[in-house]
Structure 1
Amino acid sequence: MEVSVASKNSVSINETPGVVTVITKEEIQNSGARDLIDVLSLVPGFGFGMDM
């Protein structure tokens, strides 16, 4: 499997510099996500906070 990470060059998934989570179009549609925060909540271990 090859991925593009912040560049136009494809590299092996073993050569990527960090954790990459792929959320497919089907996963987004099936989740009922309404915005980006809903989509990001699908990523295990990802936390979202806001400063007020």
Structure 2
Amino acid sequence: IGPVLAARGLLLVGLDVIGDYLTEVNVTSPTCFREIQDQSGFDVAGRFIEALESRLP
């Protein structure tokens, strides 16, 4: 699904998954940056900002 969303210019999208099923693609209010960082230590917000900055001229 990533390449399809990127081709449409969507850089930040929330995906809701239950079991093996994609239940929602949320383009207006993706969340969980804090929860992901708290539980895994992965800095989602920082990586997203770095990705945006790398696209600037």
Note whether the superposition's TM-score is higher than 0.5.
no
TM-score normalised according to structure 2 size: 0.25
Q: Radius of gyration: which is bigger?
A: 1
Pick the structure with more helix per residue.
2
Pick the structure with more strand per residue.
2
TM-score normalised according to structure 1 size: 0.26
